[in-house]
Structure 1
Amino acid sequence: MKNKTTAIMTSVLLALSNTAIAEECYGIVLAGENDCATSLNVCAGHSLEDGQVDAYIDMPSGLCEKLVGGSLKPK
């Protein structure tokens, strides 16, 4: 039963994440976890430090500015 519930919840979350409008959230990314190039590197996954102000990850619209350090624009 637990596996069935987990599978259902995973499906629901995937469906919601695919339909939600994503926005770029800067300043909260862990080192090496960014979604795109920054001013200091040319590839995703190569941010140099946690919280790098010009590195971003995509997340559901409306969530970024609720996070400490989150910004919709690079600083």
Structure 2
Amino acid sequence: MPSPRIRPARGGGDARCQGRGDGTGLRHRLLTLLETANAPRRLRYAQLLAVINVWPPPNDPAPALAWFAEALRARAARHV
């Protein structure tokens, strides 16, 4: 069982904190956010910011975001 400090960071815990259930609506909103965050222009914007501000180049989050989105879709397909 996760510690009480970690539990609210999970999807269902966050939904309960906001008075919503961990259901298809939450997963749909999360999937929309993941797809938006995985836009190629977001990475390009971060790369340009790094050049302008002399920061190290950012890591590409696309593989992790795509994996997470696919996992949500697979879970939704199982629970239809």
- What is the TM-score with the length of structure 1 in the denominator? 0.24
Structure in which a larger fraction of residues adopt helix? 2
By percentage of residues, which structure has more strand?
Answer: 1
- When Rg is computed on C-alpha atoms for both structures, the one with the higher figure is 2
